[in-house]
C-alpha cells in the first residue's frame, strides 16, 4: 500500500491530488508499506551541471531485459559512478531474486567491459 504525503509540510494527499491544500507544494513523498515490485524499469542520471553541458557522473538502471545466456527475462541492475570509478552489473532471476551474474569493480579497468568495449587494434604476436 502506498501513502502519499506532501514533501514540504507532511500533510496527507490523495493519489490524484496535484498540489497540497495546506501549503500549495507540488512535491510529494510516496511511502510504501508493503512489498513493491517494479515490473518495468527505472533509469536515473545525476550530473553537476545542465544536460548537454556535462556528462552524468552517475547513471543507474534497473530494468527487465532478455538474457541470452540463460534464455529468459531477468532483472538487470547497472551502476556507473564516474566520480568514484565504480561499475556494477548484476542480473537477477525474476521469481526467486537470486543473483545469476554479478560483475563489480573499477570503471577504469578495461577488463570490466569485455573485448568489444576495448579501443584500438588488437595486439598481434611479434614475428620471430
Q: What is the mean pLDDT of residues 9-17?
A: 89
Please write the tens of the pLDDT for every residue from 30-71: 877 666 566 678 888 898 888 788 889 999 999 999 999 999
pLDDT class of 16 with cuts at 50, 70, 90: confident
> What are the CB-based long-range contacts (under 8 Å, 24+) for 104-113?
107/80, 107/81, 107/82, 112/87, 113/87
The pTM (predicted TM-score) of the whole model is: 0.58
Please write the tens of the pLDDT for every residue from 76-106: 999 999 999 999 999 999 999 999 999 999 9
Amino acid at each position: 500500500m502506498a501513502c502519499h504525503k506532501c514533501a514540504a509540510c507532511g500533510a496527507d494527499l490523495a493519489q490524484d491530488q496535484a498540489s497540497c491544500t495546506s501549503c500549495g507544494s507540488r512535491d510529494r513523498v510516496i511511502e510504501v508499506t508493503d512489498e513493491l515490485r517494479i515490473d518495468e524499469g527505472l533509469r536515473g542520471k545525476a550530473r553537476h551541471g545542465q544536460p548537454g553541458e556535462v556528462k552524468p557522473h552517475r547513471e543507474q538502471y534497473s530494468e527487465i531485459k532478455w538474457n541470452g545466456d540463460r534464455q529468459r527475462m531477468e532483472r538487470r541492475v547497472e551502476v556507473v559512478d564516474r566520480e568514484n570509478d565504480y561499475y556494477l552489473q548484476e542480473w537477477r532471476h525474476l521469481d526467486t531474486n537470486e543473483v545469476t551474474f554479478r560483475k563489480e569493480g573499477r570503471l577504469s579497468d578495461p577488463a570490466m567491459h569485455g573485448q568489444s568495449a576495448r579501443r584500438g587494434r588488437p595486439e598481434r604476436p611479434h614475428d620471430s
